[in-house]
Amino acid sequence: MTDCEQSDGKKPRRRRGDGRPTIADVAARAGVGAITVSRALRDPHLVSEPLRRNIELAVRELNYIPSFSARALARHRSDVVGVLIPSLSQVVFTDVLRGIYDGVDGTSLQVQLANTRYDVLAEERLIETFLRQKPAAMIVSGVDQTPRARGVLELAGCPAIQIMDLTTDPIDEVIGFSHVAAGRLMTEHLVDQGYRRIAFLRGWTSKRANGRYLGYREALSAAGLEEPIAANGAYDNPDAHVADHLQQPVGLPMRELASAAIGRELLRRALVADPGLDAVFCNNDIIALGVLFECIARGIRVPEDLGIAGFNDHEYMAAAEPSLSSVRTPRYESGFEAAMAVRRKLDGETGGPSVRDLGVQIMARASTNRSGLVERGERPVMPARRRRRQSSLTGIAAAIG
């Protein structure tokens, strides 16, 4: 046997200059053409089952790894879906990512993640980095991209889906919910339960989450109620280097700016500023949990003396004692529907809505059951003002019908 022969009698593998096997090597081992291998790797359903298995065996034997750059060059696009989220430490985005991964499951699409850390300039740079790789699509969290980021996404030539918020002017398509409407609905629920001195505890918040506060103010105004002084409950820890509650938290991880400990501190400050408070609507669930801990420590009765509501409705809200009311947001659904929108667009489907509002639910539990009208356990509720509006519309429809 010569030095250039293999023990199995087959011709030596042709390799790239860096020694890695090529698609031609796979084709030779499988006894098919390179185009057939490419098709099997890109869209397995386009080749027969026996042929696909034969090609997969050759790929494993040769330890072949497809070149995404070569595929992108040949097809003008890669199989990568670029996903930008603002935090890797918040469970909110864990749920979103689970939906995205489930949405692309069974396809050739590959998810690549980047963390913007709530920094719009970092988001802009990451978007440019992704677009240099010719992604199949982009999924970005929020609708507050910089003008440059928005401009390059509009010209990217691939689907660009914005999620977890709404806008009337999406880059391509937006799938999410209105933070303003969510804040308004929860505040209406608190008013319906008989609370009148309702504070909004923010801690640090992003521009997107600030919509919840705007909705809260709208609901108070509509009910003829004043906003307590404590509503400006921004957490101004000087060590966080945060000059304003809407600015990027430089120097302190996000998880340290949204914690149960901060929730406890915010309630302490709120009660000093306004001892007459009878309810708090918290910017997120972990702040609400901290408020509950402080109430337990002080002997404040929940919901009799103080009502507590959160935002996002994580699992521990129902498990707390007393159980905590919250706004249930469509986190998994936002990710899943974004992935499905990408798939539809890549399949050439057109004509769907560019704005998709998945809505929210008010999960009423013991922590806001001051009226005693909410049944034991939990249930989604519609505040009285919305019930009346819907009843009126139903009545009109029935009369017309």
pLDDT tens digit sequence for 100-124: 999 999 999 999 999 998 899 999 9
- Same-domain check for residues 171 and 183: no
Q: Is the pLDDT of residue 7 over 60?
A: no
- Same-domain check for residues 17 and 116: no
Last residue of a domain, one of 12, 35, 66: 66
- Same-domain check for residues 23 and 166: no
Last residue of a domain, one of 9, 36, 66: 66
Which CATH number is 54's domain given? 1.10.260.40
Check residue 233 and report its DSSP letter. Answer: -
On whether residue 4 sits in a domain, the answer given is yes
Highest mean pLDDT among 42-56, 107-121, 239-253, 327-341: 327-341
CA distances from 282 to 5, 172, 186 (A): 72, 32, 10
Q: Number of structural domains, the chain?
A: 3
Instruction: Find the range with the poorest average confidence among 16-25, 32-41, 189-198, 352-361.
Output: 16-25
On whether residue 398 sits in a domain, the answer given is no
- Same-domain check for residues 140 and 189: no
- Same-domain check for residues 152 and 187: no
On whether residue 400 sits in a domain, the answer given is no
Which CATH number is 163's domain given? 3.40.50.2300
- Same-domain check for residues 148 and 132: yes
Q: Is the pLDDT of residue 45 over 60?
A: yes
- Same-domain check for residues 97 and 244: no
pLDDT digits (tens, 9 = 90+) for 154-192: 999 999 999 999 999 999 999 999 999 999 999 999 999
On whether residue 309 sits in a domain, the answer given is yes
- Same-domain check for residues 161 and 234: no
Find all residues with CB under 8 Å of 342, minimum gap 6, and list them: 81, 103, 104, 109, 136, 137, 139, 159, 161
- Tell me what pLDDT residue 206 has: 73
Q: Which of 136, 134, 99, 130 is nearest to 115 (CA)?
A: 130
The size of the chain, in residues, is 401
Q: What domain range is 54 assigned to?
A: 1-66
Instruction: Find the range with the poorest average confidence among 38-42, 54-58, 106-110, 246-250.
Output: 246-250
Q: Is the pLDDT of residue 329 over 60?
A: yes
pLDDT digits (tens, 9 = 90+) for 74-99: 556 689 999 999 988 888 999 999 99
Phi-psi region of 299 (alpha: psi -120 to 50; beta: other; left: phi over 0): left
Whole-prediction pTM value? 0.75
Q: Is the pLDDT of residue 239 over 50?
A: no
- Same-domain check for residues 192 and 312: yes
On whether residue 73 sits in a domain, the answer given is no
- Same-domain check for residues 133 and 118: yes
- pLDDT (mean) for 314-318: 96
Q: Is the pLDDT of residue 15 over 50?
A: no
- Same-domain check for residues 125 and 1: no
CA separation for the pair 265, 104 (Å, rounded): 42
Q: Is the pLDDT of residue 130 over 60?
A: yes
- Same-domain check for residues 238 and 294: yes
pLDDT over 70, % of the chain: 78
